């Protein structure tokens, strides 16, 4: 089990707000209340999809979602942004790998509030382990999900640092601290496995 107390302390020392929930359902209730009436964009995220949060928010917030036909630019212009991470170190670093770049860009600049929704499976003991997981666990699973013609998608075992035209790993963002280009950043820890 992750050391949530250590993680909380390290994230707070790096400028992130931290909330913790035992279940995804509790986290959805919390965010549903908190984001009432706000303009919300999001990045591609299996965590977010599985939580069903977007459907809940659509009832009473202004949701800008590429899942609903909106552009990435629409999501980027929203005051609130939701995403997960590909790896979170107990030492406090947040790691994301992206292909288009919309998701990592929005974690760094331009939003009043960014929420990182993180299931227990994303947490690793330190930076090297979190980066390893992002590259060798999260990215191959995402390549498989997207039906990419990459060695990781065929074999599903690790990253091959491929030169494929369909490579999905084109940008790596490590947040050492909350960037000054966003207003608030909150890491929502959920003690259930979620997403990749
Ligand atoms: S770099 Fe290529 S092989 Fe490695 S995870 Fe990304 S798409 Fe797969």
Is residue 7 within 8 Å of residue 123, measured between CB atoms? yes
What's the number of domains the chain is made of?
A: 1
Among 99, 143, 196, say which to mutate for ligand 1: greatest number of ligand atoms within 8 Å of CB. Answer: 143
Distance from residue 107's CA to the centre of ligand 1 (Å)? 22
The number of residues making up the chain comes to 196
The verdict on residue 144 lying in a domain is no
Is residue 106 within 8 Å of residue 179, measured between CB atoms? no
List the domain range (segments joined by +) for residue 81. 4-124+172-190
Residue 15 makes CB contacts below 8 A (sequence gap 6+) with 177, 178, 185
Distance from residue 122's CA to the centre of ligand 1 (Å)? 18
The verdict on residue 51 lying in a domain is yes
What is the per-residue pLDDT for 146? 94
The residue contributing the CA closest to ligand 1 atom 4 is: 159
Which among 57, 63, 42 has a CA at the least distance from the CA of 117? Answer: 42
Residue with tokens 């964009």, as numbered in its chain:
41
- ∠ CA 90-92-94, rounded to 5°: 105
The verdict on residue 150 lying in a domain is no
What is the per-residue pLDDT for 173? 98
What is the per-residue pLDDT for 158? 97
CA 63 to each of CA 4, 104, 150: distance values in angstroms, whole numbers, following the listed order: 31, 19, 33
What is the per-residue pLDDT for 156? 86
What is the per-residue pLDDT for 83? 97
The verdict on residue 161 lying in a domain is no
Distance CA 53, CA 32 (A): 7
Distance CA 40, CA 62 (A): 6
The verdict on residue 55 lying in a domain is yes
Dihedral of the alpha carbons of 114, 40, 193, 16, in degrees to the nearest 10: 10
Which among 191, 50, 168 has a CA at the least distance from the CA of 121? Answer: 191
**Terminal Cα-to-Cα distance of the chain (whole angstroms):** 17
The verdict on residue 10 lying in a domain is yes
Per-residue pLDDT tens listing for the chain (196 residues): 899 999 999 999 999 999 999 999 999 999 999 999 999 999 999 999 999 999 999 999 999 999 999 999 999 999 999 999 999 999 999 999 999 999 999 999 999 999 999 999 999 999 999 999 999 999 999 999 999 999 999 998 999 999 999 999 999 999 999 999 999 999 999 999 999 9
Is residue 186 within 8 Å of residue 17, measured between CB atoms? yes
The domain spanning residue 113 has which CATH number? 3.40.50.10420
């Amino acid at each position: 089990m992750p050391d949530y107390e250590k993680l909380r302390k390290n994230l707070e020392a790096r400028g992130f707000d931290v909330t913790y929930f035992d279940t995804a359902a509790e986290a959805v209730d919390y965010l549903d209340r908190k984001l009432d009436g706000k303009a919300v964009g999001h990045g591609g995220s299996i965590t977010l999809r599985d939580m069903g949060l977007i459907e809940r928010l659509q009832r009473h917030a202004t949701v800008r979602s590429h899942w609903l036909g909106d552009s990435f630019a629409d999501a980027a212009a929203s005051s609130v942004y939701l995403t997960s991470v590909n790896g979170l170190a107990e030492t406090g670093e947040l790691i994301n790998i992206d292909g288009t770049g919309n998701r990592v860009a929005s974690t760094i600049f331009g939003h009043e509030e960014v929420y990182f929704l993180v299931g227990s499976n994303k947490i690793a003991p330190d930076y090297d382990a979190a980066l390893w997981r992002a590259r060798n666990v999260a990215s191959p699973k995402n390549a498989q999900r997207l039906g990419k013609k990459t060695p990781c998608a065929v074999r599903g075992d690790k990253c091959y640092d491929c030169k494929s035209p369909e490579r999905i790993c084109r940008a790596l963002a490590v947040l050492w601290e909350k960037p000054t280009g966003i207003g608030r950043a909150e890491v929502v820890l959920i003690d259930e496995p979620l997403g990749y």
